[in-house]
């Protein structure tokens, strides 16, 4: 897939006649979303800092007994800043600085809940299978430098921040985890959510570094709604999305790092399917750019060793429980997506479509309990 192709939505908007574009967008993206007007000083500062900003509103109908619960959700996608040959400290500091500039713009746009991309303070170095120096990017989730910085931002901007990092757990054997730290708008760390499903495909050699998460499917009740975090490869697992819904999430973030022609056709499908099936909002975030590494590595595909991870295609978007979604951010540029959404839409969709009422969880609790037995005999009918 051409890395230079900027955006599916912009391509359709450019070439389709107006009436056709409307119908195509309805089929592909559901009802038309409101365009969100963002402050002039924010958009001009974004432009100065070479940052795409898009804003949309996803409304619910007005209820009699509940006030609208309107929240502005921010999602940031970005390239790494320095070459991966720079020192660990330099690379991280440069990312801290760059994201700080973007968080400032998010605050100017009134963002209440902000999520950064997976393992944001580092290059996605797991393709190399090298432990040195990449393991040094791992940080303590509670007192590491990245968490401290996010706490400052959270408090300063009155913003809930989800900060996905490579976690070092010193208490439990110095192990590493792929972890999202959830920081309240008060600046307090509310807790962490670890990646539940770990890939072993292509250059995604993450099982070399950390294990499947042990934090289950926690939901964080913030001032701006009940949120949860399903990290990267967990989006391929509908049962993972489902448990966050069962536990009450209204908004589930999917901070990711993904590349290539194989995963891109899945990108628009999975987080959106989860929003529909679970009557909640989802926000899928992917990095941009191509990351080059100092030493060559092979990709388990029989091809010669090489030094880059391919093109992270961005395309960050928000999906709503009514099957609508925002356009994606650029496939190539740093970006901030601001979505103003009314959380009341979640329960309205539960009432309307009834997907939660009709889930029959007892059937699946029983079926799965049977299915995991070593001597399970699936009900296969033969002639």
Known catalytic residues are 118, 195, 232
Looking at 21-29, 33-41, 140-148, 302-310, which segment touches a second copy (CB under 8 A)? 21-29
For a second copy, give the closer residue by CB, 100 or 300. Answer: 300
Q: Is 174 in the site for a second copy (CB under 8 A)?
A: no
Q: Is residue 143 a contact residue for a second copy (CB under 8 A)?
A: no
Interaction of residue 295 with a second copy, rule CB under 8 A: no
Q: Smallest distance, Å, CB 369 to a second copy?
A: 5
* 241: contact with a second copy by CB under 8 A: yes
Q: Decide: helix, strand or coil at residue 273.
A: helix
d(CA 191, CA 305): 40
The alpha carbon of residue 2 and the mean position of all alpha carbons in its chain are separated, in whole angstroms, by: 23
Per-residue tokens: 61: 């109908």
Task: Closer to a second copy by CB, 16 or 70: give it.
Answer: 16
Rounded to the nearest whole angstrom, what is the least distance from the CB of residue 123 to a second copy in the complex? 23
Residue 313 Cβ vs a second copy, minimum distance, rounded to whole Å: 9
Question: What are the Cα distances from residue 7, in Å, to 234, 331, 335?
Answer: 25, 6, 12
Q: Give the per-residue SS3 of 324-338.
A: CECCCCCCCCCEEEE
Question: If binding is defined by CB under 8 A, does position 374 make contact with a second copy?
Answer: no
- Note whether 39 binds a second copy by CB under 8 A: no
Q: Does 1 bind a second copy (CB under 8 A)?
A: yes
| Least Å from the CB of residue 186 to a second copy | 7
Out of 143, 170, 269, 298, the residue judged to bind a second copy by CB under 8 A: 269
In terms of CB distance, is 68 or 246 closer to a second copy? 246
Which residue in 39, 83, 248, 294 binds a second copy (CB under 8 A)? 248
Please list every residue from 55 through 84 that binds a second copy, using CB under 8 A. none
Dihedral sign from CA coordinates of 343, 58, 284, 288 = negative
CB of 161 to a second copy, least distance (A): 14
Query: Is residue 273 near a second copy by the rule CB under 8 A?
Result: yes
Among 100, 131, 156, 368, binds a second copy (CB under 8 A): 368
Q: Which two tokens stand for residue 157?
A: 């901007």
- Residue 18 binds a second copy, judged by CB under 8 A: no
| Of positions 77, 163, 184, 316, contacts a second copy by CB under 8 A | 184
- Residue among 316, 364, 266, 296 nearest 73 (CA): 316
Q: Is omega for the bond preceding 298 within 30 degrees of 0, making it cis?
A: no
194 three-state secondary structure: strand
Decide: is 27 part of the binding site for a second copy (CB under 8 A). Answer: yes
**Strands, sheet with 317-319, edge to edge from the N-terminal-most edge strand:** 225-229, 251-256, 281-286, 317-319
Q: Show contacts with a second copy in window 296-355 (CB under 8 A).
A: 322-324, 352-355
208 near a second copy, rule: CB under 8 A: no
Q: How far is the CB of 345 from a second copy (least distance, A)?
A: 13
Separation between Cα atoms, residue 166 and residue 119, nearest integer Å: 6
Q: At what angle do helices 88-108 and 145-157 cross, to 10 degrees?
A: 10
Sort residue 278 into left (φ over 0), alpha (ψ -120 to 50) or beta: alpha
Distance CA 196, CA 198 (A): 7
Q: Is 47 in the site for a second copy (CB under 8 A)?
A: no
Say how many residues touch a second copy, by CB under 8 A: 91
365 binds a second copy (CB under 8 A): yes
C-beta closer to a second copy: residue 8 or 135: 8
Q: Which of 218, 252, 284, 346 binds a second copy (CB under 8 A)?
A: 218
Output the six-digit token pair for 155: 């408090």
CA quadruple 19, 52, 232, 71: dihedral sign: negative
DSSP class of 17: -
Beta strands in 92-205 (DSSP E): 113-115, 160-169, 175-183, 189-194
Contacting residue, 63, 174, 221, 296, with a second copy by CB under 8 A: 221
């Amino acid at each position: 897939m051409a890395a230079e192709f900027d955006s599916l939505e912009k391509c359709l908007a450019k070439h389709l006649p107006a009436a056709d574009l409307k119908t195509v967008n309805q089929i592909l993206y559901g009802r038309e979303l409101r365009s969100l007007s963002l402050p002039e000083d924010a958009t001009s500062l974004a432009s100065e800092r070479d940052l795409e900003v898009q804003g949309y509103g996803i409304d619910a109908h007005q209820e009699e007994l509940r006030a609208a619960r309107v929240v502005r959700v921010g999602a940031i996608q970005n390239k790494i800043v320095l070459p991966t040959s720079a020192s660990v400290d330099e690379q991280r500091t440069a990312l801290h600085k760059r994201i700080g500039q973007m968080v400032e713009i998010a605050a100017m746009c009134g963002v209440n809940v902000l999520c950064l991309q997976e393992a944001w303070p580092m290059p996605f170095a797991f393709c190399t299978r090298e432990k040195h120096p990449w393991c040094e990017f791992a940080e303590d989730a509670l007192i590491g430098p990245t968490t401290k910085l996010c706490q400052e931002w959270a408090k300063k901007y009155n913003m809930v921040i989800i900060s996905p990092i490579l976690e070092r757990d010193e208490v439990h054997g110095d192990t590493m985890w792929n972890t999202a730290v959830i920081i309240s708008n008060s600046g307090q760390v509310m807790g962490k959510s670890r990646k539940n499903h770990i890939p072993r495909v292509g250059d995604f050699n993450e099982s070399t570094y950390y294990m499947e998460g042990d934090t289950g499917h926690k939901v964080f009740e913030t001032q701006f709604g009940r949120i949860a975090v399903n990290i990267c490869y967990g989006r391929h697992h509908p049962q993972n999305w489902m448990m966050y819904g069962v536990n009450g999430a209204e908004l589930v973030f999917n901070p990711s790092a993904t590349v290539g022609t194989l995963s891109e056709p899945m990108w628009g499908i999975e987080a959106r399917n989860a929003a529909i099936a679970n009557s909640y909002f989802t926000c899928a975030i992917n990095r941009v750019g191509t990351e080059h590494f100092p030493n060559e590595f092979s990709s388990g595909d029989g091809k010669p060793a090489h030094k880059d991870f391919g093109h992270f295609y961005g395309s960050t978007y928000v999906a709503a429980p009514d099957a609508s979604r925002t356009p994606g951010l650029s496939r190539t540029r740093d970006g901030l997506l601001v979505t103003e959404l009314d959380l009341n839409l979640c329960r309205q969709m539960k009432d309307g479509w009834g997907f939660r009422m009709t889930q029959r969880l007892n059937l699946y609790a029983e079926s799965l309990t049977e299915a995991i037995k070593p001597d399970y005999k699936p009900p296969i009918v033969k002639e």
